Amino acid sequence: MSPRAVLVGAPGAGKTTVGQLLAEHLGVPFLDADTVIEAEAGKPIPEIFFDEGEEHFRALERATIAATLERFDGVFALGGGAVLAEETRKALAGHAVVYLEVGFADALSRVGLGAGRPLLAINPRATLKHLLDQRRPMYEEVATVTVATDGRTPDEIAAQVAAAL
């Protein structure tokens, strides 16, 4: 068993929105890694960051992704920082990984001032720019398909992803 598609990308790329549409189009279930982590931890991700720290959150994230890649056959959206872990990048090998590429302006307009996004809590513009620059090579490394999202609707993006798969 293996996901039909794994979506990666920066905050604001549309992983959840596009993932839900793609899953509907393909007739398979959708799963968001962050939602799974929140359910298992019993609290929202910002609280995990505040109470236990980013390192603890990343450990939960790595475990959730590894387990889900083995047992889920739908569309699986990863959190923006999931690719930071070499273990996760290696686990994605052999899967249909779709990098939803987003530029700074579109990402900023989509995430706003970072409400509910712990890493964007302080100076969201500069932090988001740094995250995009830092993570882009890792998204490209794991991707089997790259789809640009700037200036496009979620429906257009989902249709392109479905065609590419």
Identify the domain containing residue 126 by its residue range: 5-160
Instruction: Please report whether residue 129 resides in a domain.
Output: yes
- Least confident stretch, 28-32, 63-67, 82-86, 150-154: 150-154
Instruction: Please report whether residue 114 resides in a domain.
Output: yes
Q: What is the CATH number of the domain that holds 144?
A: 3.40.50.300
Instruction: Please report whether residue 81 resides in a domain.
Output: yes
Instruction: Please report whether residue 143 resides in a domain.
Output: yes
Instruction: Please report whether residue 56 resides in a domain.
Output: yes
The type of residue at 77 is A
Instruction: Please report whether residue 165 resides in a domain.
Output: no
pTM as predicted? 0.88
pLDDT at residue 1 tops 70: no
- Total structural domains in the chain? 1
Q: What is the pLDDT of residue 11?
A: 80
Residues 6+ away with beta carbon under 8 Å from 60: 37, 40, 41, 48
Instruction: Please report whether residue 15 resides in a domain.
Output: yes
pLDDT at residue 137 tops 70: yes
